[in-house]
Structure 1
């Protein structure tokens, strides 16, 4: 590739009133002198400013979606590239159980002082221990 393809190709960043990025527009062209194609990346934030959904230019649905607990910890993360992950935290925020899109399941046992006693992992779907 020559540098003339990328020369004077603008990009645009849009922020909301809180200073959070909500759009990034990049331009792509494969031949010098050809009209550039706009590639729009979008983000949606909740009222506390955490990223809730993100869309990239290749898909019509969000490529990353996150559901947060009231304390702000991610409970469910759904990614087009990795799949979904689900976390079940305890009252102190410790990870009690986790699941993922591959069918793996982790269960963590703690003592009274929240020290890890055991971590059980089950990578076979539909099998409980």
Structure 2
């Protein structure tokens, strides 16, 4: 996992400093208040190599039994395209996004519409549509 630089911009592209954005979520100091916040924190976890955060925020019904992140992927940026529900008072939500990365020297774009659900009051990634 990369070292923390709390004043550097958050990898999720929110424009906030890491420590004021995804940092507290990755450190387990608080839970995401919205589905989009959770999706952004998961992107940040992928970009920082934090498999623990990705695993613990994945719904137990759909997550793999073992999770390892690919060290050959370098995450370049995230753009949130759309959200549906997923607010502080919702039980489900969707976030559509594009994540850019390099794999084996090639730049690629991952486009996904993710579904999220609350379980015991916490937002969790469910699956992709």
Q: TM-score range by the shorter chain?
A: under 0.3
User: Radius of gyration: which is bigger?
Assistant: 1
With the length of structure 2 as denominator, give the TM-score of the two structures.
0.23
The structure whose residues are more often helix, as a share, is 2
With the length of structure 1 as denominator, give the TM-score of the two structures.
0.23
